[in-house]
Amino acid sequence: MAEKQCNERFEKWLEQVNRACGRFSGAALESGFHGSLSEHLAHAIKLSVVEINQACLVRTRHEVTQSNDAWFYTVFQLEGEAVMEQGDRQALLSRGDITLIDAARPSCFTYTHGAKQVSLLLPRHLLE
């Protein structure tokens, strides 16, 4: 029963992520899953504050083709840790770290310890 409730909480949270940040798939890693997301918009820049624990978010070619890839995700790690992967690169983000993720390419984010991040969606044309 607890696993079913955890999966339901994850699916609701994933729906929020998909609305705010584009298509992702993923899974809760354990029954300790927790996730929250709040969105903010300032002109062409979208910002999300994400709190997450015990989850994996994946953006495969399938998810990329189903959403707008005209963004870069700039991720600021505020608390905890996260493993961010894209291509053959992997970064372990700790408090104070920043990484840039290309929305046009597959990626994987793993959160095994409580994490809080700010994800800033920057339009591609502003960076290129």
Could you tell me the domains of the chain? Answer: 2-127 (2.60.120.10)
Judged by DSSP in three states, 125 sits in helix
The pLDDT tens digits of the residues spanning 6-55 come to: 788 899 999 999 988 889 999 999 778 999 999 988 776 779 999 999 99
Q: What pLDDT, on the 0 to 100 scale, is given for residue 2?
A: 64
- Rounded to whole angstroms, what are the CA distances from 40 to 25, 35, 59, 111, 120? 22, 17, 22, 23, 9
CA proximity to 120, closest of 104, 108, 103, 105: 103
Please give the pLDDT value at position 44: 67
pLDDT for 5 equals 76
56-112 tens-digit pLDDT = 999 999 999 988 778 898 999 999 999 999 999 999 999 999 999 999 999 999 999
